[in-house]
Amino acid sequence: MRPFRDGRSMKPMSGATVSKGNATQPRSDALIALSNVNKHFGALHVLQNIDLTIARGEVVVVIGPSGGGKSTLCRAINRLETIDSGEIAIDGKPLPAEGKELARLRADVGMVFQSFNLFAHKTVLENVMLGQIKVRKKDKKTAAERARSLLDRVGVATQADKYPAQLSGGQQQRVAIARALAMDPKVMLFDEPTSALDPEMINEVLEVMQQLARDGMTMVVVTHEMGFARSAANRVVFMADGRIVEETTPEEFFTHPRSDRAKDFLSKILHH
């Protein structure tokens, strides 16, 4: 069993228990802080007075019904979606509006989407090298060494010289994770990273994410994978209708949900 940086420990996903500490304790080491965040799409109020703080090394899984605001919340954290009001801070600094400061922030906040967004005309290795060279200003040799190390870490080292179209969806998503890690991010955001994958490929991506959690990476994960939420999260945030309805430990949420909205959601998800 491998420890977190702060002493928490975790076993793999296979039904094992996870020791996570108190999910409601004060967080003086906040890495991400959202305060009274609001966002509209036309008349639709998709984020309503969102307050959320995420500590360094914490894994927060955001779940809830479709259209509840989960992906919008995730995308707002690195300003892929702008907000109408409120404040978002990363590592104590307000989210920049644009320009070089925003580019620097996005280098510190890795993002993995439903679609893999790999460059089709570049090899797997080149995809993982590119950001290191363009943004982090590393030389090609250093970038290549780092890229190969990360591809090995996510289990696709043998695919380095292939092009994305030659890989399975699960392999492409693992390359996308390696590409995000190559920037040495402070936090990783995952927006439904397995939803576009065939069922047999989902676990290979979740296993990589499990390992990142065990290694102490700060993670915000929007997902419908309840097994991952149960086993890897320090905290579950349940969103519905643009609001955070519940925020608690996985154990508490899955065994004793407080709200009728959460009870209804779980009854539909867990019994099918």
What CATH number is given to the structural domain containing 65?
3.40.50.300
Express each pLDDT in 68-119 by its tens digit: 999 999 999 999 999 999 999 999 999 888 778 888 888 899 999 988 889 9
In the chain, the DSSP E strands lie at 2-3, 9-10, 18-19, 30-41, 44-55, 59-63, 85-90, 93-94, 109-112, 187-191, 218-222, 235-240, 243-248
* pLDDT at residue number 98: 79
Q: How many domains does the chain have?
A: 1
Q: Mean of the per-residue pLDDT values for the chain?
A: 88
| Residue 24 included in any domain | no
pLDDT score recorded for residue 38? 98
**129 has pLDDT over 50:** yes
Integer Cα distance of 92 and 236 in angstroms: 23
Per-residue pLDDT band for 9 (boundaries 50, 70, 90) equals very low
Under the banding of pLDDT at 50, 70 and 90, the label for residue 11 is: very low
Residue 25 belongs to some domain of the structure? no
Q: Does residue 19 form part of some domain?
A: no
Per the domain annotation, does 98 fall within a domain?
yes
For 82-93, b/e burial (b = at least 16 CB within 10 A) is ebeebebebbee
Q: What is the pTM of this model?
A: 0.86
Q: What is the pLDDT of residues 176-233, one digit of tens each?
A: 999 999 999 999 999 999 998 998 899 999 999 999 999 999 999 999 999 999 999 9
Torsional class of 184: left (φ above 0), alpha (ψ -120 to 50), beta (otherwise): left
Residue 88 included in any domain = yes
16 part of a folded domain? no
Residue 271 is predicted with a pLDDT of 63
Range of the domain at 82: 30-270
